[in-house]
Amino acid sequence: MKLRIVVDPDLCIGAASCVTIAPETFQMNVENKAEVLDHGVADCGPSYERTIEATEEEKETIILGAQSCPTLAITIYDEAGTQLYPAI
Ligand code: SF4
């Protein structure tokens, strides 16, 4: 499945819990904000938003990472554009 993952750099406070839980998907940049990777690779350069192909297991890990964010800086959408997290 495809997932669109968006980090709001204005909300990110650099707590890095998303990186601890899902290091294949999130990494800290020089500004101490989380950026989105594609399976550990920033293939098109670093980005606060990326659409990646994910297995069900990877999806669960990415959502756990998003749930760990104290400021709800991470939003996840499915390929139809439905918001998976945070629940609306
Ligand atoms: S958990 Fe949230 S605040 Fe912490 S680095 Fe990740 S996006 Fe930023």
The alpha carbon of 32 and the centre of ligand 1 are apart by a number of angstroms equal to 9
Tokens of 17: 């819990």
Asked if residue 88 belongs to a domain, the reply is: no
Provide the pLDDT for residue 56: 97
Distance CA 71, CA 34 (A): 12
Total structural domains in the chain? 1
Residue 67's pLDDT band (boundaries 50, 70, 90)?
very high
Confidence class for position 40, pLDDT limits 50, 70, 90: confident
Residue in 49, 69, 72 to alter for ligand 1 test, most ligand atoms within 8 A of Cβ: 69
Q: Is residue 15 part of a domain?
A: yes
Q: In this structure, what CATH number is given to the domain that contains residue 42? A: 3.30.70.20
The CA-atom distances, in angstroms, between 12 and each of 3, 54, 69, 74 are: 20, 23, 8, 8
Section 41-65 average pLDDT:
90
Point out the ligand 1 atom lying closest to the alpha carbon of residue 32: 5
